[in-house]
Chain A
Amino acid sequence: MAFTLYALIQTAILFTNAIAVLHEERFLSKIGWGAEQGIGGFGDEPGIKAQLLNLIRSVRTVMRVPLIAVNSVCIVLLLLFG
């Protein structure tokens, strides 16, 4: 219950890592959440599933490199300060 800002940062890093490790071909396509299934039609009503798939794909593309940096920093800090 007593959350700190540090806990929030940890949660955010863990969540982003979890989204980033979802592999495109081996996993997402198998359960029907692949990139090509997201682009349904060209109507103005994307639908929740398409938006969610879009979000997952963009998070994976955008956050890949910053996550490497942030994870390395976290590893070093945890090694040094426990």
Chain B
Amino acid sequence: MEFRQQPEVRMRGPLMDPRDPGLLFEDTSAGGNRHKPSGVGKGPDVCPGQALLSDPMSNLALVYGSSLASHGKEMMDKNLDRFIPISKLKYYFAVDTVYVSKKLGLLVFPYMHDNWEVNYQQDTPVAPRFDINAPDLYIPVMGFITYILVAGLALGTQNRFSPEILGIQASSALVWLIIEVLAVLLSLYLVAVNTDLTTIDLVAFSGYKYVGMFLGVLAGLLFGRTGYYLSLLWCCVSIFVFTIRTMRLKILSEAAAEGRLVRGAKNQLRMYLTMAIAAAQPVFMYWLTFHLVR
């Protein structure tokens, strides 16, 4: 059928990003795409459509309707892409299990890792599944959700739970995240640092502390206040070291990042900025969890 071919071809277009070095995601849709062109512009199925298609007017209406629908979808995709860069977001979610497990281990125990540089490939960072140092958004999002759930659990054990509490916790943590990202952006602008840190990178780095937060609350649930304090202390120190080692390479100049002592007001200021960003993480971790553990 002529008109069925068109929506298929158009929809495969935006998925295959031509400038993407090695495909971000494995193409598991090879078999499935032939059978069902997804959703838009489908029109009625073959069997009842036979009767309709014999009428030329409804045939025309069908073709027009399907082309209009696919055109509308294209336009919406294009406009949405202007506000929320969907293709860039896809990069941050291109993870696999090995990467996630290694990164979680790195978040809790960053002391043995030597090489913190992000590998690049033709001026764009390599996808997270190939490079453990690249930032991703999967762990922060999952950590955030887990933190909300564990907070609900903790409040439930103290008989302080109600369904609105979950929403309040979620929006409160989200607001603090936004405030922190805005503060870091402002301070990066004021110090006039030329980095390639995008806003989404900063969201990713600020989101890594949710892992430590929910580990602390979980330990507090299982082992009481001492467990909470001990695990929170451990996670705070690890996130502090992790953030310093990651941010140092991005913010400081190359010479200072390699460990050679470079004097000068500019580098000192940048070092203070890195320390401040790293020190804000444990503060937030404590601030957002201490009211959950009694």
Q: Which residues of B contact A4 (CB under 8 A)?
A: 168, 171-172, 175
A40 within 8 A of B: no
Q: Contacts A8-B179, A45-B266 known; A3 to B189 CB distance under 8 Å?
A: no
On whether the beta carbons of B189 and A55 are closer than 8 Å, the reply is yes
Identify the B interface with A (CB < 8 A): 168, 171-172, 174-176, 178-179, 189-192, 266, 291
Contact partner of B172 (CB less than 8 A), chosen from A2, A45, A51, A55, is: A2
On whether the beta carbons of A3 and B190 are closer than 8 Å, the reply is no
A52 within 8 A of B: yes
Q: Contacts A1-B291, A2-B168, A45-B266 known; A7 to B175 CB distance under 8 Å?
A: yes
Minimum Cβ distance to chain A for residue B292 (Å)? 12
Q: Which residues of A contact B172 (CB under 8 A)?
A: 1-4
On whether the beta carbons of A48 and B191 are closer than 8 Å, the reply is yes
Q: Which residues of A contact B176 (CB under 8 A)?
A: 3
Minimum Cβ distance to chain A for residue B273 (Å)? 11
Q: Which residues of B contact A1 (CB under 8 A)?
A: 172, 291
Q: Contacts A8-B178, A8-B179, A45-B266 known; A3 to B192 CB distance under 8 Å?
A: no
Complex-state Cα separation, A67 to B178, whole angstroms? 21
Q: Which residues of B contact A32 (CB under 8 A)?
A: none
Interface string of A27-42 (1 = CB under 8 A from B): 0000000000000000
18 A-B pairs whose Cβ atoms sit less than 8 Å apart in the complex: A1-B172, A2-B168, A2-B172, A3-B171, A3-B172, A4-B168, A4-B171, A4-B172, A4-B175, A5-B174, A8-B178, A8-B179, A45-B192, A45-B266, A46-B192, A48-B190, A51-B191, A55-B190
Contact partner of B190 (CB less than 8 A), chosen from A7, A45, A52, is: A52
- A1-21 interface with B by 8 A CB criterion: 1-5, 7-8
**Total residue contacts A-B, CB cutoff 8 A:** 31
Identify the A interface with B (CB < 8 A): 1-5, 7-8, 45-46, 48, 51-52, 55
For B165, the closest partner residue in chain A by CB is A2
Minimum Cβ distance to chain A for residue B243 (Å)? 22
On whether the beta carbons of A8 and B175 are closer than 8 Å, the reply is yes
Q: Which residues of B contact A46 (CB under 8 A)?
A: 192
Complex-state Cα separation, A52 to B176, whole angstroms? 23
Complex-state Cα separation, A46 to B174, whole angstroms? 33
Complex-state Cα separation, A2 to B151, whole angstroms? 13
Minimum Cβ distance to chain B for residue A45 (Å)? 7
Complex-state Cα separation, A7 to B174, whole angstroms? 12
Complex-state Cα separation, A2 to B172, whole angstroms? 5
Complex-state Cα separation, A2 to B174, whole angstroms? 11
Complex-state Cα separation, A1 to B171, whole angstroms? 11
On whether the beta carbons of A3 and B175 are closer than 8 Å, the reply is yes
Minimum Cβ distance to chain A for residue B272 (Å)? 12
For A48, the closest partner residue in chain B by CB is B190
Q: Which residues of A contact B178 (CB under 8 A)?
A: 8
Minimum Cβ distance to chain A for residue B231 (Å)? 22
Minimum Cβ distance to chain A for residue B170 (Å)? 10
For B173, the closest partner residue in chain A by CB is A3
For B265, the closest partner residue in chain A by CB is A45
Complex-state Cα separation, A7 to B192, whole angstroms? 30
Minimum Cβ distance to chain B for residue A51 (Å)? 5
Complex-state Cα separation, A55 to B190, whole angstroms? 9
Q: Which residues of A contact B191 (CB under 8 A)?
A: 48, 51
Q: Which residues of B contact A51 (CB under 8 A)?
A: 189-192
